[in-house]
Structure 1
Amino acid sequence: MKKSFYLGWVCLFMVYTNLFAQEKTAHVEQLEEVVVTATKFAIKKELVGKIIYQIKAEEIANLKGKSVVDVLDNIAGIQINGTNSSAGKNKSTYIRGGRDRQVLVLIDGVPVSDPSGVNTTFDLRLLTLSQIESIEIMNGAASTLYGSGAATGVINIKLKKSSNKPISLNYQTSIGTNNSQNDSKINLNDFNQNVTVNGTLNKFTYFTSLNTSKTDGLSEALNENSAIKYESDALKAINTFVRIGYAFNEKFNIQLFNNYDKDVYDYDAGAFTDSDINNGENKQLRFGLTSNFNYTKGSLSLTTSYNKIDRMFDSFNSWANTTDHYEYAGKTTLVDIVNNYKFSNEIQLITGLNYQKQSNLTNSPYGNIEDDLANYNTIDPYATVIYNLKSGFNINAGVRLNNHSEYGNHLVYNVNPSFNFSNEFRLISSISTAFIAPSTYQLFSQYGNVNLNPEENKTIEAGLVFSKNQLFEINSVFFYREEDNAIILPDYVTYQNATETLNAKGVETSLKINALKDITISLGHTYTNKSADLDYIPKNKFTALIETNSIKNTYLSLRLKNISKRTYFDQWGTGENINLKSYNLVDIYASNDIIKNKLTLFAQVNNIFNEDYIETIGYTTLGRNFKIGLDFNF
């Protein structure tokens, strides 16, 4: 492990020193960047008192062959458990020490969730990177704009736009290995292909995409002591997306969208325990409408959507020597109307009304949950004032009244002042609250408790942003979050509210250097300290990326990730604290435009030093693996 750590840093140092002579001398023009997630409408990045991490289209173009969780796991403040495990392993997203149910995922600004799940969280495996244009991540509470669930962060995933040409075709295919550290055979077990047809015909736009993938060859459970080789656990997935739009004029447009996604997977019986029986299937049907109307002083938008997720799985019951069958259906209906009115260049008011209805239908050997019982709705009015002064002072302040059918009214607020001392330096701060209702599973399942109280969060943060002519930019934010009435399962019998106040605090820092010709260096560090260690969140996480376009038509990158020692309380196993060693992962990536803008060849090697490490106790991790692919544009 130490060897790979030193070798990884040697690689980074050699790349840096060998290319240092290519220092930039030309002036870099400062471009105005805009973000959407902070206000639901486009706003200049420097007017936002939050750190917004942007993964732009050109960056995603240099990540071909990666998964969505691969990309997100390299962002400061985010930890995704299961990223380096088998493809069928559940992926849990943690931001700022919070649990995955405190993170809200948006697709083109539309919230997505699974009401039938324990934590109602959206399964990121239902998305493929080849359909995504860009991603914005806003760490910190955002419940005033986005409602219950956005307690620690928002991930806004924007799907690709239609081409300006009448017809454009993209086809991407890749093949690779899917090995553990103990398997060095070149068995091609990772297949992926995606085809997209899109374009613009006068005022009409269309976009269609189909993605299929299959991953096999790796056992989910870790084979530590058994002499019998564990069977491999496969994942097969299909993702479809269709969007059509019509622009009536420059002021008014409307878009209809539809997703159908399905994955079928094998899984094992738990930590260190194989199974050749357990399997599952997830299906998502999502459709809706978005429209925008621009008028002299502002704009009005409407979003409606319906999302249904069906999950089933078979699990071998060793006590009864039978196979148990489980079925879950979660439905979400959403309507969001929001208006942005600009009183002047300094003041704008965002007002909205959000309606959501969620239901859960469950059939299991341990009891059923009927959707006429397990459902609730919310009707939330909200308002945010944005005040930007020429002196450099900015404030974003908002309130939201969560009107929950089961839990009544809860007021949440956000006050987010910032000050721009210059175009290069600004200070940011915020104080925010959040309200999270129990899931229908936590209320009505065999572990349910209808007397649960909602979770309540309060977060403060303060930080700075400093940049210099786009040659480099550094941002660093301190955060502190308190959580009351956290919903826990202390005895594995009944959900309860924690009696103590939980807290998490830490610092997120990222540094991007563009001061060398054709070379970019990105560094990130996250320190997280929690009052309880029930999750696999490291105290320190460090990421480093060096990328270059110095070779004609070629992109090269070297990435390092360091995860510190972790202490995990094994609640359902030994009942003791388990100390997990630190580990380092080093990846390399390359792509070449064989025919510029037409044909690209890409290749990657992950975990090049074949590091042996533990991500989740009892589960297999990925060793050294290779992938190669082609991307065609017509």
Structure 2
Amino acid sequence: MRFLLTTTFLFLCCGLSAQEVPTLSTTTDEVLVSTTKFPQAAEDSPQYVTVIDSTAILAGGDLAMLLQEQAGVVINGAYSNFGKDKSVFLRNAGNQYALILIDGIPVTDPSALGGAIDLRLLSLDNVRRIEILRGPRSLLYGSDAMAGVINIITKNSDTEDPIGLHLRAAAQTHNTFDGAVSVSGSTAKVDYRLAYDRFQSDGISEAAEPAGTTDAFDDDPVTRQNINASLRWQATQRLSLRPSLRIADFDGDYDDGAFTDGANTYTNDLILPGLRLDYAADKFRITGNYNYAKTDRVFNSAFGAFEGRGRSHQADLAASFFPQEKLFYTLGTQLREERLQVNDPGTDAPQATTISPFLQLGYRPSERLSLEGGFRFNQHSNFGGQSNWSLAGILSNRGGLSWRVSVASAFQSPTLDQLAGPFGANPDLQPQVATSLETGVSFQTEDQHLKLHLTGFRRLISDIIVFGTNGYENQDEQRDLGLEFSGDYRLNKVLTVSGNFTHVSGTLRQPNVPRNVEVRDFPRRPGTTATLSLNYQAPKAFSARITTQYVGDRPDLLFNPDFSTTLVTLDNYVLVNAYLQYQLLKRQQLTLFADLRNLTDTEFTEVIGFNTLGRMIRLGFSVDL
């Protein structure tokens, strides 16, 4: 903290020059890169997309907390100890049904439960924007995109100069420090960026102390480091290449379980090299992407060490054609190869390969109507063939009103652990399949001071894989019905109100089991969430945002020492957060910020038997040189 204050004082002594800064908000008035294989104006897309821009990312501070504020998204564990696992519940679906993309490429971990990447590995320092697409998205992205995709789009150069330096440092409650440094630059042919960021915290005890205990539980510290390197080479006027490399590691302590202290450690390492190719001509565009994800996880406890090592290749190639202004079609294919590393040299490593050709078409018969559709066929090395489809349309008028409707299907392949793991493996498993119908209405005034959007959806997930008495099997189905509302209103030149509301209900049943019992309780998934923000933008350099977040009641399961479970209800709660920033010096070189979380120090529980962080104050600065 002394370093932070001293450095800030030195910069202040250099001179002050107030500059305007953008508002702290999310927006959908963008060019989208996730709905098709080429950039598309948001107003022309039949798919409604939430875009989190760079200023909202700056105010977000933490990826899990930032996503938690978006409509239809719940990040369980966002406010638990920094090392607690984070689960993404998108529209009431399980964590394994939300697909994380980095620069449009799926990033998975075959060694993890459900195959999802560990959210704790990812920081916001290298992120330029985030696009959230809700609903089935297997047409373009393949397996796992059943509830939607979250596309994390990384930064290129921070400057238009040949070389520039960016520094950021912050100190926070719980003896927490985070910082970042990056070197970047641009020329006529090349832009590049090399960045390093680090987060470390003493944290709190992950497990809550049971009532009546006399022994204080130990804190559970955590450290995360990220190295990001990228280079974009404009080889010709039409062709560009972008190699990239991400290296991340996450180390932390964790406890034995609910209300139980422990001296366990956890490490997770990720190496993610990638390559992107773009070729743009007058009537067609070619995009190619590849990444290789190497993940190594180790859990150390009193029972010994448990290792999980996953390897994943993801590649896609797509050609988009524009024979006329009103028509496009895209032909592409995706290759996905996954395997688990095993320690026994005599044991074959479980692996699976999926090859998926796809076709997407778009037609705009008039300025008011746009239609899109597509078909995808997936050939899996284990379960064989499976297909997905999508249809969508948008109808708009000159009064700022538009209506969207879409129907689509998606799938998730069985994980390697479910197919060939050591516990309950079943090589005859079939893919889980989702179908969804959604419709939405959007309105915005001509001056764009008022923007409103309302979406209703109905989704069916069938052949859900569960672990039963005979191991893994396709058995359950889940039906969800939901409503999402979002909007913002510019009150005057300095004040903007924005917010969202989500309500979803679901039913889980076993259609092929005698005396089927329906379940309407989904652990840790609230039926209702809402967020309301007031943004203040001064005429000069000061801006602020105060946000109120509501999370409704939700059930949870307490696992008892005798291996029985108890169903409990977690109370609803309201959090009040604030973010303030001030920019100084010429060219907006210095930014001071304060990030205040849970201002009222509300006591609440995200996971039964585990703590939450309480009130947090984070102070810091960033500077460009």
* Same fold at TM > 0.5: yes
Task: Give the Cα separation in 2 of the matches to 1:259 and 1:290.
Answer: 14
1:346 alignment counterpart: 326
Contact 1:69–1:80 under 8 Å retained in 2? yes
- Matched position secondary structure for 1:348: strand
Instruction: Give the drift of 1:522.
Output: 0.9
Which string of whole-angstrom CA distances, capped at 9 and with x for unpartnered residues, describes residues 66-118 of structure 1? Answer: 11111111110100100010111110001111111111111111110101111
Amino acid across the alignment from 1:56: D
- Matched position secondary structure for 2:100: strand
Amino acid across the alignment from 2:307: E
Contact 2:167–2:624 under 8 Å retained in 1? yes
Instruction: Give the drift of 1:617.
Output: 0.6
- Matched position secondary structure for 1:516: coil
Instruction: Give the drift of 1:562.
Output: 0.6
1:228 alignment counterpart: 215
Alignment match of 1:591 (pick from 581, 590, 595): 581
Contact 1:360–1:369 under 8 Å retained in 2? no
The aligned runs of 1:418-457 (5 Å cut-off) are: 418-422=394-398, 424-443=400-419, 444-457=421-434
Matched, 1:303 2:289: yes
2:569 alignment counterpart: 579
Matched, 1:269 2:256: yes
Task: Give the Cα separation in 2 of the matches to 1:100 and 1:242.
Answer: 29
Contact 1:507–1:528 under 8 Å retained in 2? yes
Which string of whole-angstrom CA distances, capped at 9 and with x for unpartnered residues, describes residues 545-585 of structure 1? Answer: 11111263111110111111123355776534322211011
Amino acid across the alignment from 1:352: G
Task: Give the Cα separation in 2 of the matches to 1:93 and 1:273.
Answer: 25
Amino acid across the alignment from 2:164: S
The aligned runs of 1:354-433 (5 Å cut-off) are: 354-362=334-342, 372-422=348-398, 424-433=400-409
1:617 alignment counterpart: 608
1:21 alignment counterpart: none
1:44 alignment counterpart: 41
Contact 1:62–1:555 under 8 Å retained in 2? no
Contact 2:35–2:45 under 8 Å retained in 1? yes
Which string of whole-angstrom CA distances, capped at 9 and with x for unpartnered residues, describes residues 413-452 of structure 1? Answer: 0011221123611111111111211111122232322232
Amino acid across the alignment from 2:222: L
Over 3 Å counting, the alpha-carbon distance change for 1:518 and 1:293 in structure 2 is same
Task: Give the Cα separation in 1 of the matches to 2:349 and 2:384.
Answer: 17
Which string of whole-angstrom CA distances, capped at 9 and with x for unpartnered residues, describes residues 326-375 of structure 1? Answer: 11111111221011111211110011011111001255xxxx79884410
1:478 alignment counterpart: 456
Q: TM-score, normalised by structure 1?
A: 0.89
Alignment match of 2:528 (pick from 517, 531, 540): 540
Over 3 Å counting, the alpha-carbon distance change for 1:200 and 1:129 in structure 2 is same
Aligned residues: 580
Q: TM-score, normalised by structure 2?
A: 0.90
Residue range with higher mean Cα deviation, 406-415 or 122-131: 122-131
Over 3 Å counting, the alpha-carbon distance change for 1:445 and 1:418 in structure 2 is farther
2:186 alignment counterpart: 200
Task: Give the Cα separation in 1 of the matches to 2:559 and 2:471.
Answer: 15
2:18 alignment counterpart: none
Alignment match of 1:168 (pick from 164, 169, 192): 164
Instruction: Give the drift of 1:131.
Output: 1.1
2:279 alignment counterpart: 293
Amino acid across the alignment from 1:463: G
2:122 alignment counterpart: 127
Percent sequence identity is 27
- Matched position secondary structure for 2:279: strand
1:79 alignment counterpart: 74
Task: Give the Cα separation in 1 of the matches to 2:131 and 2:33.
Answer: 8
Task: Give the Cα separation in 2 of the matches to 1:447 and 1:233.
Answer: 33
2:10 alignment counterpart: none
Contact 2:231–2:244 under 8 Å retained in 1? yes
Over 3 Å counting, the alpha-carbon distance change for 1:283 and 1:546 in structure 2 is same
Contact 1:149–1:435 under 8 Å retained in 2? yes
Task: Give the Cα separation in 2 of the matches to 1:165 and 1:408.
Answer: 52
Over 3 Å counting, the alpha-carbon distance change for 1:501 and 1:51 in structure 2 is same
Amino acid across the alignment from 1:37: S
Task: Give the Cα separation in 2 of the matches to 1:455 and 1:39.
Answer: 24
- Matched position secondary structure for 2:140: helix
Which string of whole-angstrom CA distances, capped at 9 and with x for unpartnered residues, describes residues 241-280 of structure 1? Answer: 011121122211111111111111100001111002x101
Unaligned stretches of 5+ residues in structure 2:
1-26, 509-520
Task: Give the Cα separation in 1 of the matches to 2:178 and 2:69.
Answer: 22
Over 3 Å counting, the alpha-carbon distance change for 1:372 and 1:41 in structure 2 is farther
Which string of whole-angstrom CA distances, capped at 9 and with x for unpartnered residues, describes residues 107-144 of structure 1? Answer: 11111010111111011221111111111101111111
The aligned runs of 1:110-149 (5 Å cut-off) are: 110-149=105-144
Over 3 Å counting, the alpha-carbon distance change for 1:391 and 1:257 in structure 2 is closer
2:243 alignment counterpart: 256
**Divergent runs of 4+, >4 A:** 368-371, 569-574
Amino acid across the alignment from 2:411: F
Over 3 Å counting, the alpha-carbon distance change for 1:371 and 1:561 in structure 2 is farther
2:3 alignment counterpart: none
Contact 1:359–1:371 under 8 Å retained in 2? no
Amino acid across the alignment from 1:470: Q
Alignment match of 2:592 (pick from 590, 601, 610): 601
- Matched position secondary structure for 1:602: strand
Alignment match of 2:480 (pick from 504, 508, 511): 504
Task: Give the Cα separation in 1 of the matches to 2:404 and 2:564.
Answer: 44
Alignment match of 1:328 (pick from 308, 317, 320): 308
Task: Give the Cα separation in 2 of the matches to 1:46 and 1:619.
Answer: 44
